[in-house]
Structure 1
Amino acid sequence: MVIMVPPDTWPPGLIELGPAERLDVFTRRLEEEQRAGRVLHGTVSVQIGRLPE
């Protein structure tokens, strides 16, 4: 899954938080941005192999 958000979406101080709290804070912010309609998301298919010659 690919998620694109506008600048300044990341909560301030996120990097200083512990892993569990960081996940909670980021998830809540992402949900707020999604409700406001500022998140683009989708899926991509990745194929690994050789390109045809």
Structure 2
Amino acid sequence: MVLVHGTGGVSLFALQLVKARDCRVAITYKDNAKLARARELGADFAFNYATQPT
């Protein structure tokens, strides 16, 4: 399991690289639309840290 923060170019590259290694990926960001894009790219878990309680 790998945790990736953000939805910028480096973060999305890390997401794709980790998925290619057959690992599960959790990604965090504050924008639901960008989290949806990360899910399309293969993120197993997506958390909006601005709206979900800790």
For this structure pair, what is the TM-score category when the shorter chain's length is used for normalisation? 0.3 to 0.5
Greater RCO (Cα-Cα under 8 Å, separation 6 or more): 1
More strand by share: 2
Rg larger in structure: 1
